[in-house]
Amino acid sequence: MMKSFLTALILACWMSAPVLAQGGGASPVKLGEARLTAMTPTMQVAGTVVSRSDAFLSAEVEGRLISVADVGSRVEAGDIVARIEDTRLRLQAEELEAEKTRAEASLRFLEAELRRFEQLAETNLAAASQIDQTRSERDIAESNLAVVNSRLNQVQDQIDRTLIEAPFPGVVAERLSQAGERVAVGTRVVRLVNPQDLEVVARAPLDYYRYVRPGDELAVTQGDDILVAPLRTVVSVGSEQRHVFELRLDIDAPLPVGQTVRVTIPTADVRQVLAVPRDALVLRGDGIAVFIVDEDNTARRIRVTTGIGQGEWIEVSGPIQEGDRVIVRGNERLRPGQSVSIQES
């Protein structure tokens, strides 16, 4: 019997606690403070994550593709991503090597002949015309050898270009030509993207161009994540159809190329405002209000209007002053004039 009585007493006390609070008892709250701070009106514009190293690698010689790197392959700068058949070019190189050997032999013979005639001329056994003719033939042979060397170097350069190399480290994002296909000069073969060298490209109305400068740090929002990125450059070129300017921000985050983000930009100059934590705002049917704690620890409800926001702070206007204690926790069901019990923040 006694046990049942104690149980009923404890239950009654537990159920009566909210009733006491609602009837005027001290309600536990946590406080913030109204303060003057510098803020800037802002807006969000759409942006896209792009790679600063994103290129379509094309064929530089005509021929049949022997191999092409698979999509997703990771390569370093200088690695081969595709090969073009070089049989015809190598045969041309062999032919030119033979011509080079013949030209060198002819040049050696004429140089020896010229030296011999010059020695005979000292004893008047060789005519000047013979020397002039031999010297002319030697000069022609030198020219022929130079032409052959130039043609050989051109063919060797084309052989080197049958190997399509990665100009920077990255990932093969697309394969636009397949092994076995014949490609012409300029045919796109693969798309190479460096996913580590990223930037955000965004466009904003030209009206706000004067409020951003290279070096500014702007907030970049992706989902629930907020990054701070430096503004690398501003391209102030609009058009008759699109009255916007371009912003490019460096980012160091593992985001995929093509990801859509939101970039926060200022739309006016910085100004001093009175601000409170956003959690201090109470939205009810008659508008937006804030509860201020007076010196006797009673809650006073005041109507406010909101302005610009920045992070966890928001501008407010109304009968509120710098340094006023505002309730940021426990204000959801609070009534004007109710006593509060201040908890540690």
Q: Which tops the pLDDT comparison, 123 or 92?
A: 92
pLDDT at 345 over 90: no
- The answer to whether position 32 is within a domain reads yes
Both 253 and 203 in a single domain?
A: yes
Q: Which of 139-153, 168-182, 239-253 has the lowest mean pLDDT?
A: 239-253
Both 233 and 334 in a single domain?
A: no
- The answer to whether position 7 is within a domain reads no
CA distance 290 to 303: 7
Both 129 and 245 in a single domain?
A: no
Structural domain count, the chain: 4
- The answer to whether position 285 is within a domain reads yes
CA distance 279 to 340: 17
Both 61 and 189 in a single domain?
A: yes
Q: Say if residues 126 and 114 touch (Cβ distance below 8 Å).
A: no
Sequence-ordered list of residues with C-beta below 8 angstroms from that of 339, at least 6 positions apart, any chain: 24, 25, 26, 27, 297, 298, 299
Out of 235, 266, 297, a domain closes at 266
Count CA within 13 A, CB hemisphere, residue 164: 32
Give the per-residue pLDDT at 1. 41
pLDDT at 212 over 70: yes
Both 96 and 207 in a single domain?
A: no
User: 108-133 pLDDT, tens per residue?
Assistant: 998 888 888 778 776 776 677 777 88
Domain around 218: 42-52+195-266
User: 4-56 pLDDT, tens per residue?
Assistant: 444 444 444 444 444 444 444 688 989 999 999 988 888 899 999 999 999 99
Q: What is the pTM of this model?
A: 0.67
Q: Rounded to 5 degrees, what angle do the CA atoms 174, 178, 76 make?
A: 50
Both 185 and 213 in a single domain?
A: no
User: 294-341 pLDDT, tens per residue?
Assistant: 989 899 999 999 988 877 889 999 999 999 999 999 888 888 888 988
